[in-house]
Structures are given as structure tokens and as C-alpha cells.
A and B are shown apart, each in its own frame.
Chain A
Amino acid sequence: GQQLNQSPQSMFIQEGEDVSMNCTSSSIFNTWLWYKQDPGEGPVLLIALYKAGELTSNGRLTAQFGITRKDSFLNISASIPSDVGIYFCAGQLTGNQFYFGTGTSLTVIP
């Protein structure tokens, strides 16, 4: 299957700090998605990106579709305790099939 390299694997930050994570691939994707998963729950869609260079915000979250179409970035500003969870990127090649990164585990220390 497709390999999506997501980094960092885990982050421990102080409440109020900004967070950055990214996802890279050797393949060119048509769509990038970012999901958050809380413990014991399924992933929930945060942001969807459809065009190279696109920058989209959802509250304190901002994500970008890389110009090369092989990467994407997610930033979280002014982190709060409820931001804790695992963040996944997902990329779409064709059709309705997406490939997922291995996740970034975020811990926010109050």
C-alpha cells in the first residue's frame, strides 16, 4: 500500500503552545484530510484540502496542501487540554480510497 510518513510520532507540549505536524508521501495525492481520534472513539474529520497550495482553517487549526501535492501540514495554535488525542493525515489518490498516516499522538500539559 501507499506509505504516508507522519511526524512527529508524539508530542508533549505545554498548554498555550503552538503545535505543528506534517505528512509526506512519495506519491502525488488529489486530496488531503486531517483527522483527530479521541481514546475509544473513531477518527473525526478536522479539515479537508482539495488543491495544491490550499490553506484552510477550522478555528485554531490550520492545514495546508503542499505545492508538490506530496505533503500536508497541520498547525494548532494556543493548544488547550482538549486538543489531546491522535492526529491522522489521509491522502487520496483516485476514487474514494484514502491512505492513512501512522498518527501523531499529542499530549497537552496544563
Chain B
Amino acid sequence: NAGVTQTPKFQVLKTGQSMTLQCAQDMNHNSMYWYRQDPGMGLRLIYYSASEGTTDKGEVPNGYNVSRLNKREFSLRLESAAPSQTSVYFCASISKEVGGYTFGSGTRLTVV
């Protein structure tokens, strides 16, 4: 099925560990995004990539890095995880046809 695929679905990290969240879309969209969702705060943009080869900071980029590997894939890396990064992370891509974002099903990350 066409859509946005995120892996892993769940992850527990120790403080200071690193990991990469993977995202891939098969809809040939140019723009891809990483959001984090915290209780009472809605979705906040971490980084986005308007097209292959470009990335830009969003509202809350500190502590994260991203890579737009190709048109399909956009990964989010935590170099040294902190408890404040415990959150649900959503990847999304956008199409003019849909008129808005298509979201993946999320990665639930806990940093202890």
C-alpha cells in the first residue's frame, strides 16, 4: 500500500545512546518532515526537507540531525539521547493532490 513507513515502532534508549529513526514514502513526494508529539503540545516540527538534497530546521531541531538519503527516504538521528527526547515521532510527506501531509504511524521513543 502506498504511504509513509516508519521504523521502528517502539524504542527504549538509555541516556547518551544514539539511534536513527527511519522513514520512507513511496508516493514520489518531494517534501518530507519529522515531527514530535508531546502531550498537550500538539505536533512540533523538528526538521524538514523540501526536496532531495536539502534539509532545514523546524521549530525544535536541537539534539537532532537528519539525512535526506534520496527522494524516498528521510532519516532522523539522535546522537546522544536525553530524557527530554522521550516522545512520539512522526514522519510525513506532502502532496498537492492530497492537499496536506500524509503521516506515518509513528515511533514511540522512551529515553531512560
Contact = CB atoms under 8 A, between A and B. Distances in A.
B101 A97 contact: no
Q: Which 4 A-B pairs have the closest CB atoms?
A: A42-B103, A48-B99, A1-B59, A100-B42
Contact of A45 (B44, B45, B58, B101): B101
Contacts of B101: 33, 43, 45, 90, 98
Given A1-B59, A96-B50, A43 B42 contact: no
B41 interface: yes
10 contacts: A6-B42, A33-B100, A35-B100, A42-B106, A43-B43, A43-B90, A96-B50, A97-B45, A98-B101, A100-B35
Contacts of B106: 40-42
Contacts of A35: 100
Contacts, number: 61
Interface residues of B, number: 25
A1 B44 contact: yes
Contact of B99 (A33, A99, A100): A33
Contacts of A42: 4, 90, 92, 103-106
Interface of B: 4, 31, 35, 40-45, 48, 50, 58-59, 90, 92, 94, 98-106
Given A42-B90, A96-B31, A88 B42 contact: yes
Given A48-B98, A101-B42, A102-B40, 4 more contacts: A4-B42, A40-B105, A41-B105, A90-B43
A33 B98 CA distance: 11
A96 B98 CA distance: 13
